[in-house]
């Protein structure tokens, strides 16, 4: 820290021209680290707070052993065409990444200053101005790096940039209150309404999440609900009706974004060496999804699918 301010945060991706993370064309900044461990997570490289190495075995050339030869800690071995990484030995120096001309190795997550993040986002300023877009802060969970988030919000505000925050809502209330009035739109995730089921599938209780959502509504902050729909997890009639009842009591929330599960995160689990964590989740059936969408519409909600109307 310098002068009471945080110098750097850990970011694992910056995605340009995003159109599903809030209104208009946006740049989405992905913070590393999340207090939840959702079993279906499609951004598993955002779970751990520190940088991690990913190995794309499909890109690895059979005859090449450059990564093995440059690794000073002997953390990489290759047997035949298969590369093994001892992640306990690896210190993420990046030598293997630089040596791999096939781009089979990647480090997810790097330390960035506020100025570096803002400079990247500023490159897209013309698209924000023309489309009514802005920057979306996502993750992982941005509130896990609340001091860095605090600085970043000040920087964006000083440049009159519109900011959306994509959050799980799992955070101490004082941290949420620290930043909430500088957020133009909250993209707020609701996963499972039953507390025990929520803990079983995500590793944490949903009590704080629901209470924080009520607080945001009471404070008059704009909120759009996002619901990742996972077959046989939260697409049952009881959970959907309970979700609708809960949201109907929060008068200012009239927009719901339904996000059908997809397997986009499965390969990334494998590249992180966490393939054993994978479970066979599936999206809701087309008929079930249609009925869920209709149930929300019948309750008076504007419904989006995957960020689109």
Question: Do 65 and 176 belong together in one domain?
Answer: no
**Domain of 216: which CATH number?**
3.20.20.70
Question: Do 126 and 144 belong together in one domain?
Answer: yes
Question: Do 93 and 157 belong together in one domain?
Answer: no
- With respect to residue 125, please indicate whether it lies within any of the assigned structural domains: yes
Residue 2 pLDDT? 43
What's the pTM value of the predicted model, to 2 decimals?
0.93
Q: Answer with the one of 108, 129, 153 that is the final residue of a domain.
A: 108
Residues 6 or more apart whose CB falls under 8 angstroms from that of 169 comprise 176, 188, 189, 208, 209, 210, 212, 213
Question: Do 173 and 95 belong together in one domain?
Answer: no
- With respect to residue 277, please indicate whether it lies within any of the assigned structural domains: yes
* Cα 212 from Cα 170, distance rounded (Å): 8
* Cα 41 from Cα 107, distance rounded (Å): 19
Question: Do 101 and 129 belong together in one domain?
Answer: no
- With respect to residue 123, please indicate whether it lies within any of the assigned structural domains: yes
- With respect to residue 3, please indicate whether it lies within any of the assigned structural domains: no
- With respect to residue 191, please indicate whether it lies within any of the assigned structural domains: yes
Residue 264 pLDDT? 82
Residue 265 pLDDT? 85
Residue 240 pLDDT? 98
The HSE-up count of residue 183 (CA atoms within 13 Å, CB side) is 28
Among candidate residues 294, 201, 305, the one with its CA nearest the CA of residue 262: 305
Question: Do 231 and 294 belong together in one domain?
Answer: yes
- With respect to residue 2, please indicate whether it lies within any of the assigned structural domains: no
* Per-residue tokens: 11: 């970011």
Q: Answer with the one of 61, 81, 108 that is the final residue of a domain.
A: 108
pLDDT tens across the length of the chain (309 residues): 444 567 899 999 999 999 999 999 999 999 999 999 999 999 999 999 999 999 999 999 888 999 999 999 999 999 888 899 999 999 999 999 999 999 999 999 999 999 999 999 999 999 999 999 999 999 999 999 999 999 999 999 999 999 999 999 999 999 999 999 999 999 999 999 999 999 999 999 999 999 999 999 999 999 999 999 999 999 999 999 999 999 999 989 999 999 999 888 888 989 998 877 678 899 999 999 999 999 999 999 999 998 655
- With respect to residue 1, please indicate whether it lies within any of the assigned structural domains: no
Q: Which residue reads 């779970």 in tokens?
A: 47
Tell me how far the alpha carbon of residue 97 is from its chain's centroid: 24
Residue 7 pLDDT? 80
Question: Do 92 and 233 belong together in one domain?
Answer: no
Question: What is the DSSP annotation of 273-300?
Answer: T-GGG-----PPPHHHHHHHHHHHHHTT
Domain count, the chain: 2
Question: Do 33 and 101 belong together in one domain?
Answer: no
**Domain of 90: which CATH number?**
3.30.70.20
Q: For residue 268, what are the CA distances in angstroms to 104, 107, 169, 259, 290?
A: 12, 12, 24, 19, 29
Contact, 33 vs 144, CB < 8 A?
yes
Residue 204 pLDDT? 98
Question: Do 74 and 118 belong together in one domain?
Answer: no
Expressed as residue numbers, the domain containing 56 is 52-108
Q: How many residues are recorded in the chain?
A: 309
Question: Do 165 and 17 belong together in one domain?
Answer: yes
Q: Answer with the one of 108, 134, 156 that is the final residue of a domain.
A: 108
Question: Do 80 and 25 belong together in one domain?
Answer: no
Question: Do 184 and 218 belong together in one domain?
Answer: yes
């Amino acid at each position: 820290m310098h002068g009471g301010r945080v110098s750097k945060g850990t970011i694992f991706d910056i995605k340009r021209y995003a159109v599903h993370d809030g209104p208009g064309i946006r740049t989405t900044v992905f913070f590393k680290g999340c207090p939840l461990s959702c079993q279906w997570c499609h951004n598993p490289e955002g779970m751990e707070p520190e940088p991690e190495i990913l190995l794309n075995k499909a890109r690895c050339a059979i005859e090449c052993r450059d990564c093995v030869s440059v690794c000073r800690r002997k953390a990489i071995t290759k047997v035949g065409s298969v590369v093994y990484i001892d992640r306990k030995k690896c210190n993420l120096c990046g030598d293997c990444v630089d040596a791999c001309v096939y781009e089979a190795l990647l480090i997810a997550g790097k330390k960035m200053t506020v100025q570096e993040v803002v400079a990247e986002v500023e490159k897209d300023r013309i698209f924000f101005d023309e489309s009514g877009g802005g920057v979306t802060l996502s993750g992982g969970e941005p509130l896990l790096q609340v001091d860095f988030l605090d600085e970043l919000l000040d920087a964006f505000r000083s440049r009159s940039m519109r900011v959306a925050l994509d959050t799980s809502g799992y955070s101490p209330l004082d941290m949420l209150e620290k930043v909430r009035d500088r957020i133009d739109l909250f993209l707020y995730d609701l996963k499972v309404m039953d507390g025990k089921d929520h803990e079983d599938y995500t590793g944490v209780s949903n009590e704080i999440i629901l209470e924080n959502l009520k607080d945001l509504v009471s404070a008059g902050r704009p909120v759009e609900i996002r619901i990742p729909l996972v077959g046989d997890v939260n697409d049952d009639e009881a959970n959907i009706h309970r979700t609708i009842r809960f949201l109907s009591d929060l008068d200012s929330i009239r927009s719901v974004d339904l996000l059908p599960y997809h397997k986009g995160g499965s390969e990334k689990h494998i590249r992180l060496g966490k393939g054993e964590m994978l479970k066979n989740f599936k999206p809701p059936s087309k008929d079930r999804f249609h009925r869920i969408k209709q149930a929300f519409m019948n309750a008076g909600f504007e419904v989006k699918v995957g960020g689109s109307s």
